[in-house]
Structure 1
C-alpha cells in the first residue's frame, strides 16, 4: 500500500460488504474524499483510503477465501467532531443513515447524536457547544 495517510498514529480500517458502494455513500453522507483505491479479485476492493473531516479512513471488502469472512460491525463507533453538527447530521440522514440516538444537547454540554449507515457502521456526530 502506497497511501499517504495522516501520520496520526491510528487510522480506522473497516471491512465492509460492498466497499465500493460504501465509498460512494460516504461521499454523499459525510463528504468523503477518495484518496486511493486498489481493486482486488472479482471487482472487490482490496484496499481503499478515504478522508472524512480531515481524517483518514481505510476500508476493504471481505475476502472469505483469504481468511476475512463477513462479520457484523460491533462494539465501536466512528466519532465525527464537527463545527456544525446539524449540517453534518442532516446530510447523513438525507443520504440514508438511520437515527439511533437523536441529535440534541446532552448533559455534558455537547450537541451529540448517533446514526447507523447502511453497512452497519455506527457514527457519532458531535459539536462542542460554544460557551
Structure 2
C-alpha cells in the first residue's frame, strides 16, 4: 500500500465553512479537488480539519467553530478572493455554477491579459477563475490600468 503525499507548499489558504462535508463535495465537483484526508470530531460529526489538493495547490478547511473561527456566512461576507488558474474560464465558471456557485462576474477579457470571472461558492467564498490570453508586461498593464481608471468615474469617487 502506498503512502499518500502529504507534503506542504509554502503557502496554503485555510478557510472556514458551514458544513465542511458539503464544501468538500462542492470543491470536488466544481473545481476537481481531491481529498487528502479529514479529521472528524466524534462527538459532533463536524470536520475539525480537512485538506484538498486543488490544481497543484493545497486548500485546508474546517467547519465553523465560533470559539476559534467564523465563516463568511457568519461574518456577512469576505474581503478575500481566491484566484484559481483554469484551462478555460468560461467552462470553469459554468461548471462551478452547475455545482451551486453564484456567478458574480461572467468571464471577461481583462486588461492584464487574462480572461477572468468570479463566482461565490455556496459557503460565501469568492473565486476568481481565469486563464491567460496574452502576455502583458507590467509596464503595459500600468498603461492599460491608467487608461481604464481615467474613464471610470467610480474610481475617482472612492478617492474622496
What SS does structure 2 have at the residue aligned with 1:94? Answer: helix
Could you state the TM-score of these two structures normalised by the residue count of structure 1? 0.87
Between stretches 93-102 and 71-80, larger displacement belongs to: 71-80
2:111 aligned partner: 107
CA contact (8 A) 2:16 2:70 kept: no
Matches of 2:88 and 2:69, distance apart in 1: 37
Mark the structure with the bigger radius of gyration.
2
- Counterparts of 1:53 and 1:87 in 2: how far apart (Å)? 15
SS at match of 1:86: helix
Distance 1:5 1:88, change over 3 A: farther
Deviation at 1:5, TM superposition (A): 4.1
Give unmatched runs, 5+ long, in structure 1: none
Moved over 4 A (4+): none
More helix by share: 2
Cα separation, 2, equivalents of 1:78 and 1:84:
16
| Counterpart for residue 49 of structure 1 | 51
Q: Are 1:124 and 2:128 matched, yes or no?
A: yes
Contact 2:51 2:58 in 1 (8 A): yes
Residue deviations 1:24-56, cap 9 Å, x none?
A: 111111111011110014000010001111210
- What's the CA shift string for 1:83-120, capped at 9, x where partnerless? 22222222111111111111111122210011101100
**Mapped contact 1:5–1:56 kept (Cα < 8 A):** no
Counterpart contact for 2:93–2:118, Cα < 8 Å: no
Change (3 A) 1:115 1:62: same
Deviation of the 1:16 alpha carbon: 0.6
Within the candidate set 96, 99, 114, 1:92 is matched to 96
Number of aligned residue pairs: 127
Other-structure match for 1:58: 60
| Cα drift, residue 130 of structure 1 | 4.5
Where structure 2 has 5 or more consecutive residues not aligned to the other structure, the ranges are 136-160
